[in-house]
Structure 1
Amino acid sequence: MKSHLNIPDTCNPFTVCWPTMPLNSKTLALARKLSQHFPKFLVCQQNCHFDSRSVSSLSSRIRKRIKSNEQSDHSSEMEAATRTPRFVVSIEGNIGSGKTEMLNYYQKTQNCEIVPEPVEKWRNIQGYNALELMYENPERWGMALQTYIQLTMLQLHKLPQEKPVRLIERSIFSAKYCFVENLFRSGKMPEIEYLILTEWFEWIIKTQNIQLDLIVYLRTDPELLHERIMRRCRPEEKCIPLDYLKTLHQLHEDWLLHKKFPCPAEVLVIDGNSALEKMPESYEQHRNKIVNPLTY
């Protein structure tokens, strides 16, 4: 039915004009409902004419809207009540600390899904190995790689979670607080590039829901890390000096132990100095806290 409300030309198009007189229970109830369920509409007092048909028509539409909203709210509540709880764990540590081995160990855990670092993406951006370029010339390629890492890590965080527990290799937080900070503090990233990455990172953290419930820190001595890296002989890592690992180690310590940067979750520290083949003993010791946290 066509509304019989007369709206003056001077009124904002999002304003429903309300008469000063007469006021009765119907008009007051309708005004209340309009304000409550149509927040974009402002109810103002104007000398406007309306008849009972307009009140009846608007009231009918409002009742339908309220009923629809109540049903929608009820469905959302039921869905939330039956939704499986989710738990997200990031495995953090320096280069060579054993993150991949730890993920592989928990790979067969039934309630757990593994999300590895997207290293292959960094190695092949339409034929360009950005990881290798950064290690060879960090002053030139540090910003480019860290920009791409920030993007790909955000994509990992936003992947739909299919199982109750997710283990993710590193996080968008360590990318910023350890690796970007290292480039900047070592003088290999200009301040303007650092500020751009920082502003983008802060916007992501404020606007995106990045769930992280536990951080596992594989704490390993830099000297041992350097030995492991030399043994595994990855092409991109052949030029990594010990000093680079020492700086990264200190940044992990500053972030996860000394809390010099915001820490988004509880931290579980695991000594990573044992031989990799003996590390499963530590993984098993902390199994419940890491992969069975919902029943722990």
Structure 2
Amino acid sequence: MSNMKNITNAARAINRRPFRVSIEGNIGSGKSTCIQFFDKYPNVEKHGEPLDEWRNVSGHNLLGLLYGDMNKWTFPFQHYVHLSRLKIQTSPPCNPNITVKMFERSVQNSRHCFVENAKKQNLIEDPEYETLIAWFDYSEKCLDISLDLIVYLRTTPETVWERMMKRGRAEESEVPLDYLKQVHESYENWLSSPDVGCEVLTIDADRGLDCVKEDLERYSYKILGGNHTN
């Protein structure tokens, strides 16, 4: 009887969690701008990519190390990324009025996009790949990491490469166009899969920022949960 009560309470807790929206897209696709668009909604808790955290892992710039030598640093970087995304995705909301939790990329993205691409490009060895998969599988089985909606900012690799060069982040200066093409292909494969796990809203982010904002406004009801019941 006690076990049944615990299961029921756990189910209720899951049902009360905020509507989870992952903003997905290639480097330079406009994910941060997309999240900032929803600043005007006080019921939305927003999380950008934890770049500062990745740049200072006990004094080590793991993001910089990754872009400097992907063969050497992809495994520890993806391991740490999984941890940081897991904390964002599963942490309770900052206050009881939050009904939507929005974050830049997801645990699922790390697993199905970046880890798969790393394996395909021989950036990680088989034992490293299997370790990362086991880490994800355990998280999926034992924690509620489910997504309710993915907003995919679809871009061409050439467009985001130009944007990336213009914004001038130090770590990104060494990222080749070929890598952006690989990430794009991984995104397309993942988000076209029948096993993606939730609805995918695709927005053409090759267009100007004003056009993207118009789409965000047009689809805001859906992005903010619509008829979702907490």
Question: So what's the TM-score if we normalise by structure 2?
Answer: 0.89
For 1:215, the equivalent position in structure 2 comes to 150
Question: What letter corresponds to residue 286 of structure 1 in structure 2?
Answer: Y
Structure 1: any 5+ residue segments left out of the alignment?
A: 1-36, 40-68
- Normalized per residue, the structure richer in helix is 2
CA-to-partner distance for each residue in 1:248-290, whole Å, 9 max, x for gaps? 1011000102x07x31211111111112244211111111110
Partner-residue secondary structure (3-state), 2:217: helix
Over 3 Å counting, the alpha-carbon distance change for 1:206 and 1:97 in structure 2 is: same
Q: Does 1:287 align with 2:220?
A: yes
Q: Does 1:199 align with 2:134?
A: yes
Q: Does 1:88 align with 2:20?
A: yes
Q: Does 1:263 align with 2:196?
A: yes
For 1:276, the equivalent position in structure 2 comes to 209
Over 3 Å counting, the alpha-carbon distance change for 1:131 and 1:76 in structure 2 is: closer
Tell me which of 159, 164, 189 is aligned to 1:224: 159
Tell me which of 120, 124, 148 is aligned to 2:56: 124
Question: Whole-Å Cα distance in 2 between the matches of residues 240 and 289 of structure 1?
Answer: 34
If asked which structure has higher relative contact order (CA below 8 Å, sep 6+), I would say 2
Question: Whole-Å Cα distance in 1 between the matches of residues 188 and 63 of structure 2?
Answer: 24
Tell me which of 122, 125, 140 is aligned to 1:190: 125
Greater alpha carbon shift after TM alignment, 83-92 vs 113-122: 83-92
* Contact 1:114/1:166 (8 A) holds in 2: yes
Partner-residue secondary structure (3-state), 1:268: strand
Percent same amino acid among aligned pairs? 39
Q: Does 1:167 align with 2:102?
A: yes
* Contact 2:155/2:206 (8 A) holds in 1: yes
1:139-150 pair list within 5 angstroms? 139-150=71-82
Question: What letter corresponds to residue 270 of structure 1 in structure 2?
Answer: I
CA-to-partner distance for each residue in 1:4-35, whole Å, 9 max, x for gaps? xxxxxxxxxxxxxxxxxxxxxxxxxxxxxxxx
Cα RMSD (Å) of the superposition? 2.6
Deviation at 1:84, TM superposition (A): 5.5
Over 3 Å counting, the alpha-carbon distance change for 1:150 and 1:295 in structure 2 is: closer
Over 3 Å counting, the alpha-carbon distance change for 1:207 and 1:84 in structure 2 is: closer
Partner-residue secondary structure (3-state), 2:174: coil
Question: Whole-Å Cα distance in 1 between the matches of residues 99 and 159 of structure 2?
Answer: 34
Highest Rg: 1 or 2? 1
* Contact 1:87/1:293 (8 A) holds in 2: no
Deviation at 1:94, TM superposition (A): 0.7
Partner-residue secondary structure (3-state), 2:42: coil
Question: Whole-Å Cα distance in 1 between the matches of residues 106 and 2 of structure 2?
Answer: 41
Question: Whole-Å Cα distance in 1 between the matches of residues 209 and 176 of structure 2?
Answer: 22
Question: Whole-Å Cα distance in 2 between the matches of residues 130 and 275 of structure 1?
Answer: 32
Deviation at 1:239, TM superposition (A): 0.7
1:172-183 pair list within 5 angstroms? 172-183=107-118
Question: Whole-Å Cα distance in 2 between the matches of residues 205 and 76 of structure 1?
Answer: 19
Over 3 Å counting, the alpha-carbon distance change for 1:223 and 1:84 in structure 2 is: same
Deviation at 1:295, TM superposition (A): 6.8
Deviation at 1:225, TM superposition (A): 0.5
Question: What letter corresponds to residue 116 of structure 2 in structure 1?
Answer: E
